[in-house]
Chain A
Amino acid sequence: MIEIFNIFLMAMLVITALAMVSSRHLFITVMLSGIFSLLVAAIFLFLDAADVALTEAAVGAGISTVLFLGALALMDVEETARGERWVRVSSLVVVAVTTIALVYATFDQPLFGDPNAPINLHVAPWYIENVPVHMGIPNIVTGILGSYRGYDTLGEVFVVYTAGIGVLSLLGDPVKNRMNRPVQNHGLRHYLIPRVVGRMLIPFIILFGLYVQFHGEYSPGGGFQAGALIAAAIILFAILEGENRALNVIPMRVLYLMMASGALLYGGVGVATLFMGGNFLEYTVLGSTMVSGQQWGILLIEAGVGLTVTGVLITIFHAFAARSNL
């Protein structure tokens, strides 16, 4: 019965994707990508991936639309050239052939939802069985993310950090760019209703972000989602009051500090466990028992993840906003 909704949503997803690629106006593409993200989040929830759906919600609803609009404010929104005819025809042929090959290949895939599919037999049962034993936390996803696959997450955090540095080095320091601009931007300060309501909601968004951060062991959530939510709150403030005020509230040096200290905290936990006699990121040595050590470790590295993600996302926003006038 539930599959019917999923089929509906997936058909809508395909239509949205087609419209996104075929539309000539980039603003329309960005708006449709908002719909795309909403549909993907609902589908993830139907497929039992609550944590992933929350991440998609936090990133897709606020931040990615704002980023794309910030970039579009610097360019022409109309797509002028369509490209030569042979390019379009030949790429259509390539795409059609590959689609047929991929669809043919799906018949070798295990059936949808098969509990005996190879993917579900190898390590997953061990994880599901051992997360409560080793860590004593109910959310298996957080357990795997923080502990069993801690190296993986460490790498991802450094990728996010590097992307933030890359954006900064490409677009320049937001504060300097802002000073060179002819017109200072005051945001939506003259729009009373959005301003009042938006300001009222910002504390709630931050509060919810902190809840997601620290309750992530018990319900869907964790550092990545919380970072995106808190960054969305700050970005909302910057949209409402202008970036200058947002930069007064959280200056760039604090953001740099957040970016770096989050990644450092994560790495530092690993080094600390080395010095305390364990392996890199072996949290067991942090506490008196295995469970308490693991819980301390997960709490610390989730805090690191949250700090880095918040810092990077707000920095990226400021970097774009200082270039454009958004």
Chain B
Amino acid sequence: MIFYIVAFALVITMCLALVRAVRGPGLYDRVLAVNMMGTKTVLLLAVIAYIMGRPDYIDLALAYALINFIGVFAVLEFFRTRESQLALTSSTTQSGQEKALDEQGGQS
């Protein structure tokens, strides 16, 4: 019974995190929600293993615990390179491609 309660708490928290991910005002709130979801999923998988009486399911929880955070690092790297690229492009004049885009945006 306690397993069901724990699993229920985890699913409810996943719902709350999903609300944060869908509504979240900033980009980072969404990353935070994804990260939260990840940990909740690890725990949920471990608890499911107990509910179903299948100890081998814990391998899945282990897999998630190991590789879940790669996404967050990729996000950090993404913003870091984007910052440096923006710094590069804003110091020079606006590139031709972007200008063409702006003009077309104005026409339509």
Contacts and interface: CB of A to CB of B under 8 A. Distances in A.
A interface, size bucket = 35 or more
Interface string B13-52: 0110010011000010011011001100100110010011
Given A50-B54, A69-B74, A236-B70, A325 B63 contact: no
B25 to A, nearest CB: 11
Nearest to A235: B70
Interface string A27-65: 110011011001101100110001001100110011001
Interface of A is mostly: helix
Contact of B70 (A61, A81, A187): A61
A273 to B, nearest CB: 31
A198 B105 contact: no
A73 interface: yes
A194 interface: yes
Contacts of B63: 54, 57-58, 61, 208, 212, 225, 229
A233 B88 CA distance: 31
A78 B64 CA distance: 30
A72 B85 CA distance: 13
Interface string A235-250: 1100110000000000
A32 B21 contact: yes
B33 A35 contact: yes
Interface string A185-196: 101100100100
Among B7, B15, B44, B59, the one with the most A-chain Cβ atoms within 10 Å of its Cβ is: B59
Contact of B34 (A8, A34, A80, A229): A34
B81 A324 contact: yes
A185 B80 CA distance: 11
B39 to A, nearest CB: 10
Contacts of B105: 80
Interface string A4-36: 010011001001100100000101100110110
A28 B27 contact: yes
B78 A198 contact: no
A54 B59 CA distance: 8
Interface string B68-108: 10110111111011101100100000000000010001001
A240 B21 contact: no
Contacts of A198: 73
Given A201-B66, A325-B81, A239 B73 contact: yes
Given A46-B48, A50-B54, A208-B62, A28 B67 contact: no
Nearest to B22: A19
A35 B56 contact: no
A208 B59 CA distance: 9
Contact of B7 (A5, A15, A212, A239): A5
Most buried by A among B34, B77, B81: B77
Interface of A: 1-2, 5, 8-9, 12, 15-16, 19, 25, 27-28, 31-32, 34-35, 38-39, 41-42, 45-46, 50, 53-54, 57-58, 61-62, 65-66, 69-70, 72-73, 76, 80-81, 183, 185, 187-188, 191, 194, 198, 201, 204-205, 208, 212, 219-221, 225, 229, 232-233, 235-236, 239-240, 324-326
5 contacts: A15-B22, A34-B34, A80-B105, A232-B67, A326-B78
Given A38-B41, A42-B45, A198-B73, 20 more contacts: A16-B22, A31-B27, A31-B34, A35-B34, A41-B41, A45-B45, A45-B48, A53-B45, A58-B63, A61-B38, A61-B67, A65-B70, A65-B74, A80-B101, A185-B81, A208-B66, A225-B63, A229-B63, A232-B70, A239-B73
